């Protein structure tokens, strides 16, 4: 269809509303608008749009090719004049007819808009997972979406037309209609089905009048399923957190171990061989000789290097918890066991477990550990299921296990089971030749840490270190060098920086240990000596307290009095 060219006569209220409606219709071209008043509203609009305007009716009638003239003044006289001047092919539509036509156009537009909205709404309602039901104010059910039938098993055919006050009188929809109030998180069964649901319903009020209400609901099973999934995910997260906190990979390798004294080299060779096998290793040596360092290095050089390295300090775990620490526990196994917890054995699966201070493990647990070493099987505390693991054992002790076996404090069978490869680390006093190399590497390390440029030690200072007996071994040497590096202001460590650190305390406190002195004085000296030896760190203080056979808290109290 070609363009319908229209002229509008009359630019008042009627003319301008006609103008507005017609100008948006694609097939229509408004050729001209005329009125005797230059500022008639339709004329202003037309000018804004670039549409021709005129003050003369005759001029409008003369526009060539006009299909239609709409007379919007409602005046008989105007109609007659148009008839007189218009081309005989041009139709004339009077205001009444024009209004009717406009009304039809508007209705048609509204209808197509409603159709579009309905299409969109249908698509939404049909695609949502939640069930939706609508009822009018008298309770007649008018609409259910496909999810409604999926959730309840009741077809839309069955449901639509029923009355909600009979079908589901206690449901959220009926309540919203009764109370005119929204209803939230309402739990009920859908009438006509056995499905328990959680619903939200809202009344629909138009111009203050209740038109109906709509309910949206989900079956409880879906919500339970989600909750279960959430709980399961949380449990996995918790377990992973625990694992991450407890598992470390080995932090040191053989490259971090210094020492070339023949006796020390023997230990290194044996450790390197042990790393290639899967055998259990028992590392013995005084405190601070590097037992843990060796354990790390063995793991790092073994086939298991990419698997966990889990350390258990057998002396630090309270006896009552030792078993649960090792083997884990089931939820509710004892008061405080709020959830299932994996033990160190399970955490170390595939890797290495380092049993530090093994000599401090009680006999009951020794028996259990022996069984585990033999079968690599155990049960969690409070559990019945046998758990099988593949773990390499490295144990360490600074106690004379053999002596303990003789006294009956350590199981002989366990001792032999652990002692497959025995690695004895010599005390530092037995390989003092290595001291210069240790010192060199420590000076480099602390230069980096403290931002200093210390080049080394004077010969006298070095001699002082070589004369000392190093009861705390390499750890004590580390502490001494660290303290000296903190105090040194020059670029070389001299004897004076070390004196207080490696010699018995000066004047007043200098009585050799063979001499008698007040017990109180003796205690102070021992506390000082222990902290000097093991260092100021918490770990150092723990060891000092352990060696002095007092609790950490007591050690802190004594230090407060001394300083
Ligand atoms: N041969 C070594 N080369 C370099 N550093 C060493 C050596 N031996 C020990 N160390 C260092 O000394 C410190 C103490 O070592 P480690 O903790 O391994 O001793 P330990 O024998 O396990 O002590 P404890 O029995 O008190 O637990 C660590 O910082 C370690 O890195």
How many angstroms is it from 286 CA to the middle of ligand 1? 10
Classify the C-alpha dihedral 171-172-177-179 as positive or negative: positive
Cβ(294)–Cβ(283) under 8 Å?
yes
> Is 417 in the same domain as 441?
no
Query: What's phi and psi for 276, nearest 5 deg?
Result: -75, -25
Average pLDDT over the chain, rounded to an integer:
87
pLDDT of 267 > 50? The answer is: yes
Task: Assign 243 a pLDDT band (cuts: 50, 70, 90).
Answer: low
Predicted pLDDT of residue 245: 61
Whether residue 507 is predicted with pLDDT greater than 70 in this model: the reply is no
pLDDT value at position 355?
93
- Does the residue 122 lie in any domain? no
Cβ-contact 374, 417 below 8 angstroms: yes
Å from CA of 482 to ligand 1 middle: 15
Note whether 377 and 491 are same-domain residues.
no
Domain at 142, CATH number: 3.30.450.20
| 441 and 508 co-located in one domain | yes
DSSP secondary structure string for all residues of 355-404: EETGGGS-HHHHHHHHHHHHHSEEE-BT--SEEE---EEEEEESS-HHHH
The CATH number assigned to the domain holding 327 equals 3.40.50.300
Alpha carbons 144 and 133: distance in angstroms, whole number: 4
Number of domains in the chain: 4
- Both 96 and 144 in a single domain? no
CA atoms of 223 and 460, how far apart (whole Å) = 78
Query: Domain limits at 212?
Result: 128-222
**Domain ends where: 424, 454, 476?**
424
- What is the pLDDT, as a whole number, of residue 506? 43
pLDDT at 102: 72
Is residue 102 within 8 Å of 24, Cβ to Cβ? no
317 or 450: which carries more pLDDT confidence? Answer: 450
Distance in angstroms (rounded) separating the CA atoms of residues 201 and 192 = 19
Q: Is residue 231 part of a domain?
A: no
The reply to whether 379 and 397 lie within a common domain is yes
The verdict on 138 and 205 lying in the same domain is: yes
**215: enclosing H helix or E strand:** strand 209-219
Site to substitute for ligand 1 among 288, 537, 541, 543, most atoms within 8 A of C-beta: 288
CB contact set of 506 (below 8 Å; sequence gap of 6+): 499, 500
DSSP string, 500-549: HHHS---TTS---TTS---HHHHHHHHHHHHHHHH-SSHHHHHHHHHHHT
478 lines ligand 1 (CB under 6 A): yes
- Does 247 reside within a domain? no
Output the CA 310–ligand 1 centroid distance in Å.
17
Residue 403: inside a domain? yes
> pLDDT tens-digit profile of 348-375?
999 999 999 898 888 888 888 888 888 8
**In terms of domains, do 558 and 448 share one?**
yes
In a domain, 242, yes or no: no
Q: Is 258 in the pocket of ligand 1 (CB under 6 A)?
A: yes
**Does 519 have pLDDT greater than 50?**
yes
Predicted local confidence at residue 247, as pLDDT: 60
Closest residue to atom 29 of ligand 1, CA basis: 475
Mark whether 87 and 10 lie in a shared domain.
yes
Same domain, 437 and 395: no
Is 510 part of any domain?
Answer: yes
Q: What angle do CA 199, 201, 202 make, to 5 degrees?
A: 165
**Each residue of 31-72: pLDDT tens digit?**
999 999 999 999 999 999 999 999 999 999 999 999 999 999
Of ligand 1's listed atoms, the one at least distance from the Cα of 289 is 21
- pTM, full prediction: 0.55
pLDDT in tens, 130-178: 899 999 999 999 999 999 998 888 899 999 999 999 988 989 999 999 9
Domain match, 64 and 143 both: no
For the CA of 257, the nearest atom of ligand 1: 3
**pLDDT confidence tier of residue 496, bands split at 50, 70 and 90:** confident
Question: Do the Cβ atoms of 551 and 545 come closer than 8 Å?
Answer: yes
* C-alpha span between 97 and 68 (Å, rounded): 12
Q: How confident is the model at residue 508 (pLDDT cuts 50, 70, 90)?
A: very low
Work out which ligand 1 atom sits closest to the CA atom of 425: 21
Q: What does residue 188 show for φ and ψ, rounded to 5 degrees?
A: -160, 175
ipTM of predicted complex: 0.98
Predicted confidence (pLDDT) per residue in 280-296, tens digit:
999 999 989 999 999 99
């Amino acid at each position: 269809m070609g363009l319908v060219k229209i002229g509008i006569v009359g630019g008042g209220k009627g003319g301008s509303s006609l103008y507005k409606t017609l100008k948006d219709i694609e097939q229509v071209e408004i050729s001209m608008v005329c009125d005797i008043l230059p500022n008639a509203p339709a004329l202003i609009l037309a000018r804004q749009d670039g549409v021709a305007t005129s003050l003369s009716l005759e001029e409008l009638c003369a526009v060539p090719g006009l299909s239609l003239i709409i007379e919007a003044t409602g005046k008989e006289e105007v109609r007659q004049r148009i008839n007189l001047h218009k081309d005989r092919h041009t139709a004339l539509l009077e205001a009444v007819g024009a209004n009717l036509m406009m009304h039809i156009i508007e209705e048609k537009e509204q209808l197509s808009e409603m159709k579009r909205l309905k299409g969109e709404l249908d698509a939404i309602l049909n695609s949502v997972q939640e069930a939706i039901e609508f009822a009018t104010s008298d309770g007649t059910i008018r609409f259910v979406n496909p999810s409604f039938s999926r959730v309840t098993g009741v077809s839309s055919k069955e449901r639509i037309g029923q009355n909600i006050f009979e079908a589901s009188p206690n449901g959220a929809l009926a309540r919203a209609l009764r109370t005119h109030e929204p209803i939230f998180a309402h739990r009920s069964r859908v009438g006509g089905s056995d499905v328990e649901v959680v619903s939200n319903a809202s009344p629909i009020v138009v111009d203050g009048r209740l038109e109906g209400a709509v309910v949206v609901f989900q079956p409880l099973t879906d919500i339970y399923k989600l909750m279960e999934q959430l709980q399961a995910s949380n449990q996995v997260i918790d377990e992973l957190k625990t694992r991450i906190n407890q598992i470390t990979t080995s932090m040191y390798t053989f490259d971090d171990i210094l020492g070339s004294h023949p006796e020390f080299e023997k230990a290194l060779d044996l450790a390197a061989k042990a790393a290639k096998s899967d055998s259990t290793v028992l590392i013995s040596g005084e405190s601070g000789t590097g037992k843990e360092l060796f354990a790390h290095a063995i793991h790092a050089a073994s086939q298991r290097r990419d698997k966990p390295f889990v350390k258990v300090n057998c002396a630090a775990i309270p006896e009552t918890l030792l078993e649960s620490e090792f083997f884990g526990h089931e939820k509710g196994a004892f008061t405080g066991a709020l959830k299932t917890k994996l033990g160190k054995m399970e955490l170390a699966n595939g890797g290495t477990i380092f049993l530090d201070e093994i000599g401090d493990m009680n006999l009951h647990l020794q028996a259990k550990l022996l069984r585990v070493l033999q079968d690599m099987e155990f049960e969690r505390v409070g559990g019945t299921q046998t758990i099988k693991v593949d773990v390499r054992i490295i144990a360490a002790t600074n106690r004379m296990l053999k002596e303990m076996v003789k006294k009956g404090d350590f199981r002989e069978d366990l001792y032999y089971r652990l002692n497959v490869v025995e690695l004895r680390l010599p005390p530092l006093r037995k390989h003092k030749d290595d001291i210069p190399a240790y010192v060199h590497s420590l000076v480099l390390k602390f230069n980096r840490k403290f931002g200093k440029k210390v080049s080394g030690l004077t010969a006298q200072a070095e001699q002082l270190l070589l004369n000392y007996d190093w009861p705390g071994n390499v750890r004590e040497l580390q502490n001494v060098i660290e303290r000296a590096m903190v105090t040194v202001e020059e670029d070389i460590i001299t004897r004076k920086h070390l004196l207080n650190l490696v010699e018995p305390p000066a004047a007043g406190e200098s009585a050799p240990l063979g001499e008698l002195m007040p017990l109180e004085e003796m205690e102070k000296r021992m506390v000082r000596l222990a902290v000097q030896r093991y260092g100021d760190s918490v770990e150092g203080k723990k060891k000092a307290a352990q060696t002095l056979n007092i609790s950490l808290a007591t050690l802190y109290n004594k230090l407060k009095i001394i300083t």
